[in-house]
Amino acid sequence: MSFLKNIVEKKKVQIGSLAVEIEKMTPAPIAKKSFSTAIGINNKLHLIAEIKRSCPSHGIIKHDLDIKEMVQAYEKGGASALSIITEQEYFKGSFKDIVEIKHHTSLPVLAKDFIIDVSQVTMAHYSGADAILLIMNILDDKTYRKLFTAATEKGMEVLAEVHSRDEITRAMSMPLTMIGVNRRNLNTLIIDKTKTEELASYLPERALKIAESGIDNKEEFAKFHELGYNACLIGSSIVRSNSPEYFIRELLSCNDDKE
């Protein structure tokens, strides 16, 4: 069984317990921030900085990760928005991480998970997320629309993630404000660095465009602006760096080079 199928099956089992958790929660008393505005302003390439402790392809990245310290470094470095993976088993995250992040930042926060049910959308909302990730590969059209509607009714935006031309075609027939090309194959966990360039010309004009996975240097980062992307989502290489703040500044300096 592929990684993606395996994790989706586990999510189906876990969903039942979410209803119990939701009953004990109250929505985070923090006004939603516009994720799309944060990464869409000005004619420059934005950076969505991701917080993650672990991942299935590399194992533990930073076991002693300090969320407050990391968030402050990301902000000082110039990140336009933040992302957190809330999946527990492989990424060691949780919805509680969103609550903590929101205490330390005014930047909009994206909740990334393998979302297949409205209860997960509700958890993201109650935790204070400003946007959620919906992976086209694990959702049929009806479910995508249902989850998109649930998110927007709660004041959250949606980033639709695609991996192929077929998924782009599907996404274009759906409600859509942001679309992300993930260069990592979620079945094999292998990164294909040609994927973002290969699919760039097929992405719809009406949506903000985001490149995801495997971006680890300024030269590579800078190319995405030329390809028409509005932002890059970067996690592992930032977390692993000696100075996340400096690393982010270095990546974003490509915008200064263009002025």
pLDDT in tens, 45-62: 999 999 999 888 878 888
In Å, what is the CA distance from 200 to each residue of 9, 73, 206, 223?
Answer: 31, 30, 13, 12
Helix (H) or strand (E) holding 254, with range, is helix 244-257
- Three-state DSSP class for 14? helix
Enumerate the active-site residues: 50, 52, 112, 161, 182, 212-213
Q: What are the domain boundaries of the chain?
A: 3-14+42-257
pLDDT tens digits, one per residue of 132-178: 999 999 999 999 999 999 999 999 999 999 999 999 999 999 999 99
Helix segments in 44-161, DSSP class H: 67-77, 95-104, 118-127, 141-153
Q: How many residues are given for the chain?
A: 259
What H or E segment, with its residue span, contains residue 9? Answer: helix 3-23
Return d(Cα 95, Cα 105) in angstroms, integer.
16
Q: What is the pLDDT of residues 100-130, one digit of tens each?
A: 999 999 999 999 999 999 999 999 999 999 9
DSSP per-residue string spanning 190-250: -B-TTHHHHHHTTS-TTSEEEEES---SHHHHHHHHHTT-SEEEE-HHHHHSS-HHHHHHH
pTM of the model: 0.94
DSSP code of residue 179: E
**Identity of the amino acid at 115:** I
How much is the pLDDT for 23?
A: 79
Span 3-14+42-257 CATH architecture: Alpha-Beta Barrel (3.20)
Strand partners, 68: none
SS3 track for 130-176: CEEEEEHHHCCHHHHHHHHHHHHHCCCEEEEEECCHHHHHHHHCCCC
